[in-house]
Amino acid sequence: MSRTFLEFFAGGGMARLGLGPGWSCLFANDFDPVKGAAYRANFPDAGAHFSGADVWSLSAADLPGPAAMAWASSPCQDFSLAGGRAGLSGGRSSAFFGFWRLMEALDEAGRAPPLIVVENVVGLLTSRGGADFAALCAALTGRGYRVGAIEVDAAAFTPQSRPRLFVIAFRGAPPPDLSAGGPFVTPAVARARDRLEGAPRAAWTDWSTRSPAGRNTRLADLLEPDGQVAWNPPDLTRRLVAMMSPVQAARLEALRTAGGRHVGAFFRRTRREDGQSVQRAEARFDGLAGCLRTPRGGSSRQSVIVVEDGAVRTRLLTPREAARLMGLPEGYVLPRGVSAALHVAGDGVCVPAVRWLADALLEPLLDSLPAARV
């Protein structure tokens, strides 16, 4: 039986892809024209249910349903460590309340979904000393939802370090096997939980899930063949290597002398050292890429570094490689422009992480409800 859902801030449709064919999207929105074009290019039925309207301009009358679930990947820049940390008062992240206004209206009309998922960066837990997370939980529990959160890193599924927070709100009595806590209720989540007071604390649930099967790929496995990509000129690579800290430079030299092939990823970042701003190239060779960013985010575009037989080469990560790091299928249609393609990939949710979450928690929660409520 197909489960129905509403998706807000849908981006290029990665949550929908992760949920899979067992779910039916009744409505999706994103007012970013680049993301909207990507959504339409990848879902032939988008014309029937996709809206490019700002969430604040929508009303409950625009939403079909009732639906079993509402998913919101609300803009995260003001919660992210790479952003301004303005919290829910920030212009972008306050879009959450545009979404929540719609949920309240659906509730008043007797059409509220029994399950709500809010996906965001882990910085939401500590934004404004935890006040933003508390406000989110208060909004959810104020409408009769039990609420809890888990922290999941995409590295469990794809070779990308990308921790994300999933706040799951449920109207029902959670089965004991889904509410006993577990490894995804991380210390950061537990600290945020323990700061809650009153109704949000009383309605809190430590969601428990089975562990994912485990990742079987490394960054090197997802890269294009060396001969099919453009590499930086040697002088640029030398300048980038010269931007490494002494510790990083020593690690790179050890790889050079060890022989063989070593594949890593790096960002250029600005750090404060001895009271001055210094631009550094920070590399990792643990088989993972760093967290993908949008081109206009707080960090520079991610690059690839290869050490082979004593030689060092560098290049930019390609859009298709970024898509693979997000778990997107090879047939996913990316925007033609590099910046637009990286914007869609870098501002999305890891597809296999969503599939795991649905299988391990969301679908069992819905299955625990009486059929009339789903």
Give the whole-angstrom CA distance, residue 150 versus residue 165. 6
72: β partners: 8, 118
- Catalytic residue status for 137: no
Q: Which residues pair with 281 in a beta bridge?
A: 268
Pairing label, strands 276-284, 261-273: antiparallel
Task: Give CA–CA dist 52/85, Å, rounded.
Answer: 26
58 to 76, 98, 191: CA distances (angstroms): 20, 9, 35
3-state secondary structure of 24: strand
CB atoms within 10 A of CB 294: 18
The answer to whether the beta carbons of residues 147 and 167 sit under 8 Å apart is yes
Candidate list 25, 76, 291, 350, residue with the active-site label: 76
Rounded CA-CA distance 145/141 in Å is 5
Indicate the SS3 state at residue 16: helix
Distance in angstroms (rounded) separating the CA atoms of residues 241 and 232:
12
Residue length, the chain? Answer: 374
The type of residue at 110 is: G
Which positions are annotated as active-site residues? 76
